[in-house]
């Protein structure tokens, strides 16, 4: 791990490793996210290739640093505490995909995730068996694990499952003909 990342993280714990862009190119820049807000250090750092080096609209950075292929393009190291991490998942893909808003459930994450899981499962059922091995099936499975972890009080483990769903959801976006793209 480059020492720059350790420095930017202010030696905080890594809370999530996310893959937020479908791109196989090597990273040449490291974009630094805003301060986490609850202590020193950046909320996240994103590794991007030349094509994506201008940054991602959903990931507004505060600074750019040179990088030499330390991670695949689209890798994000997230240092935010669990609730902020879950909110980020909601903002970036879970609410757009399901219409479920955390504030509707008073930020009670087991309830939020249970409702979101219901929405994706119903969508899968409506789709029939058109694509049994498709990303929606995988999202339903991972959402089930996320719900189970949240119901057991392990929100960090729930966030791990959501991280995988986030990557899977990009495959949905790449196939707008499914009618499953986020609204
Ligand atoms: Zn890229």
Considering the domain architecture, whether residues 86 and 159 belong to the same structural domain is answered as yes
Domain boundary among 47, 78, 109: 78
16 CA from centroid of ligand 1 (Å): 20
Task: Taking residues 152-169, report their average pLDDT.
Answer: 97
Q: Mean pLDDT of all residues in the chain?
A: 90
Domain boundary among 37, 59, 78: 78
Using the predicted structure, report yes or no on whether residue 179 has a pLDDT greater than 70.
Answer: no
CATH number at residue 133: 1.20.120
Q: In this structure, is residue 107 part of a structural domain? A: yes
Q: Note every long-range contact of 135-140, with CB atoms under 8 Å and residues 24 or more positions apart, other chains counting.
A: 135/168, 135/169, 135/171, 135/172, 136/172, 136/180, 138/164, 138/168, 139/165, 139/168, 139/169, 139/172
49 CA from centroid of ligand 1 (Å): 4
pLDDT level of residue 73 (50, 70, 90 thresholds): very high
Considering the domain architecture, whether residues 89 and 66 belong to the same structural domain is answered as no
Q: In this structure, is residue 17 part of a structural domain? A: yes
171 CA from centroid of ligand 1 (Å): 16
Q: What are the tens digits of pLDDT across the range 42-54?
A: 999 999 999 998 8
Q: In this structure, is residue 183 part of a structural domain? A: no
Considering the domain architecture, whether residues 56 and 90 belong to the same structural domain is answered as no
74 CA from centroid of ligand 1 (Å): 6
40 CA from centroid of ligand 1 (Å): 28
Q: What are the tens digits of pLDDT across the range 12-39?
A: 889 999 999 999 999 999 999 999 876 7
Considering the domain architecture, whether residues 102 and 68 belong to the same structural domain is answered as no
CA distance 80 to 60: 15
72 CA from centroid of ligand 1 (Å): 8
Per-residue pLDDT, 182 = 46
Q: In this structure, is residue 182 part of a structural domain? A: no
Which domain does 151 fall in, by range? 82-177
104 CA from centroid of ligand 1 (Å): 35
CA distance 18 to 47: 11
pLDDT level of residue 133 (50, 70, 90 thresholds): confident
Domain boundary among 52, 78, 104: 78
Task: Taking residues 53-60, report their average pLDDT.
Answer: 88
Task: Taking residues 88-108, report their average pLDDT.
Answer: 96
pLDDT level of residue 134 (50, 70, 90 thresholds): confident
Q: In this structure, is residue 90 part of a structural domain? A: yes
Q: How far is CA 35 from CA 13, 60, 86, 117, 121, in A?
A: 14, 11, 17, 31, 36
């Amino acid at each position: 791990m480059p020492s720059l990342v350790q420095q930017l993280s202010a030696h905080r714990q890594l809370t999530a490793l996310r893959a937020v862009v479908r791109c196989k190119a090597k990273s040449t820049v490291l974009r630094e996210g805003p301060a986490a807000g609850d202590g020193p250090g950046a909320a996240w750092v994103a590794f991007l290739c030349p094509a994506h080096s201008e940054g991602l609209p959903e990931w507004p950075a505060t600074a750019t640093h040179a990088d030499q292929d330390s991670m695949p393009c689209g890798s994000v190291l997230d240092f935010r505490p669990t609730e902020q991490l879950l909110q980020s998942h909601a903002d970036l893909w879970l609410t757009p995909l399901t219409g479920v808003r955390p504030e509707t459930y008073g930020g009670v994450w087991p309830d939020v995730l249970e409702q979101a899981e219901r929405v994706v499962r119903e969508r899968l059922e409506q789709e029939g068996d058109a694509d049994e091995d498709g990303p929606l099936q995988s999202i339903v499975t991972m959402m089930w694990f996320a719900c189970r972890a949240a119901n057991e009080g392990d929100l960090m483990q729930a966030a791990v499952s959501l991280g995988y769903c986030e990557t899977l959801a990009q495959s949905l976006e790449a196939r707008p003909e499914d009618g499953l793209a986020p609204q």
